Every structure is written in C-alpha cells, then in structure tokens.
Chains A and B, each alone.
Chain A
Amino acid sequence: GQNIDQPTEMTATEGAIVQINCTYQTSGFNGLFWYQQHAGEAPTFLSYNVLDGLEEKGRFSSFLSRSKGYSYLLLKELQMKDSASYLCAVPASGGSYIPTFGRGTSLIVHP
C-alpha cells in the first residue's frame, strides 16, 4: 500500500517563496503527482515527476528523490490566488497509475 505524509497547514507572505514537502512509502513507484485544489473546486494537475531532480514550470517547481521517498513543491513569487490545498499523490503499486492522495497541505498566503 501507500503512505503519504505532508504538513497539514502552512502560511506565507505574498511575494515570498514556500516549499511544501511530501514523504511517501510505496511498494512500487510509478511517479509522483502534485495537484492544486481551491476550496470547493476539483483538483487541478500541477506536475508529475518520475525521475529524480527538479522540474521547473513557471512559478512552480517540483523536486523528487526516489531514494529518500521525498518530494517537494516550490512556489515562488507567491500570490494571494495561490491560497489553496496542495495534494501530493503517488500511483498505486502493481503497474497502476491511479493517484493515491495524501491529506493535502492547506497553504494560506497573506498580504
């Protein structure tokens, strides 16, 4: 099975940088997803990492270390609209690509 751990809540200031960590345990690894979910809305796909290293996509970057079972999502130049829940997810083992989600990290960006 999968075990995903991420902080419950984080706060940051507009314009700052924030790093949201995720540790996972899985019997088989098929990559790691990050999703953003605003309150009352569906999750939206942010990134999918399958190889070690940092992948940058605009203000958002995602890092993966498979040997450490660790990932982080880095958000730069924070904006108020970045206040949302950030979900780390790993597919189930056995060749599946179905995301199994963590509880999510609620990020609050204040002026």
Chain B
Amino acid sequence: EAGVAQSPRYKIIEKRQSVAFWCNPISGHATLYWYQQILGQGPKLLIQFQNNGVVDDSQLPKDRFSAERLKGVDSTLKIQPAKLEDSAVYLCASSPAEAFGAGTRLSVL
C-alpha cells in the first residue's frame, strides 16, 4: 500500500512570497489533515477534511493560509504571504490508521 505522498520535501522562500504544498493521501482515505510542526514542538492541526469538505479549520490562520481538496482526494495548502514564523515542517496525514507523509520543510528567510 502506497503511503501519504507530499511534495516538495523542502522549500526555501523569502518573507512575503507565496508557497504551496501538495498532498496525496492513501487511496480510499476519506479524512485528510494538515499539521504544522515547529522545531521542538509537537504537530499542530491546521485543518481537517472529510472528503472534499472542511470539518475543522479553527486553528488555520485564514488571513494567510488556505487549503482545498476539490475532488476529495489530493489537497493543497497555500501560504500567502509567508512570514518568518511560518518556518516549520508541514505534515499531511490521512485516516483511518493516521498515516503521515514525510512532510515539507519550509524555511522562510
């Protein structure tokens, strides 16, 4: 069974630029999550999708972050414009069996 796929693995941008991350969950997994993990901390949930609908986005900074899952399969997370404090690893996970992707490490300079 293929795991959760994420791309890119690494991204370096300057503050105020835009960036997008992509996630393809495990086939058949209806639930998809995006987490932000700042160095030295546990992952923090940003948004949860059930199929193509948003279930929980209470911790998503909506002034700059957006996410979509138009066809209920893969998803994109966008940051526009990025700030220095957005430097983190962005993890995608799908369930059941809460499998995580390898993550995208974002550095904002």
A residues touching B (Cβ–Cβ < 8 Å)?
4, 33, 40-45, 87, 89, 92, 96-104
Contact at A98–B45, with CB atoms within 8 Å? yes
Residues from chain B with a CB closer than 8 A to the CB of A98 are: 33, 45, 48, 56
Q: Which residues of B contact A99 (CB under 8 A)?
A: 43, 45, 98
Instruction: Jot down 9 A-B pairs with beta carbons below 8 A, ordered by A.
Output: A42-B103, A45-B98, A87-B42, A87-B43, A98-B33, A98-B45, A98-B48, A99-B43, A101-B42
| B54 proximal to A (CB < 8 A) | no
Within 8 A of A (CB), among B64-107: 91, 95, 97-103, 105
> Interface size for chain B: under 10, 10 to 19, 20 to 34, or 35 or more residues?
20 to 34
A42 touches B100 (CB 8 A): yes
Q: Which of B33, B41, B103 contacts A103 (CB 8 A)?
A: B41
Among A40, A41, A99, A100: residue with most chain B CB under 10 A: A99
**Residue B44, interface by CB 8 Å:** yes
Q: Report the separation of the CA atoms of residues A40 and B97 in the bound assembly, to the nearest whole angstrom.
A: 21
Contacts A41-B102, A42-B101, A42-B102 given; indicate if A96 touches B42 (C-beta within 8 A). Answer: no
Please, which residues of chain B bring their CB within 8 A of the CB of A87? 42-43
Q: Interface centre among B42, B99, B100, B105, by most A CB within 10 Å? A: B42
Chain A residues contacting B41 (CB-CB under 8 Å) are 103-104
B55 to chain A, nearest CB (A): 8
- Residue B61 at the chain A interface, CB threshold 8 Å: no
Contact A104 B100, beta carbon cutoff 8 Å? no
Q: A45-B97, A96-B48, A97-B95 are in contact. List 20 more A-B contacts (CB 8 A).
A: A4-B42, A33-B98, A41-B102, A42-B103, A45-B99, A87-B43, A89-B42, A96-B55, A98-B33, A98-B48, A98-B56, A99-B45, A100-B45, A101-B42, A101-B43, A101-B44, A103-B41, A103-B42, A104-B41, A104-B42
Which residues of B (1-53) have their CB < 8 Å from a CB of A? 33, 40-45, 48
Query: Given contacts A96-B56, A98-B33, is CB(A42)–CB(B42) below 8 Å?
Result: no
- How far, in whole Å, are A1 and B36 apart by their CA atoms in the complex? 18
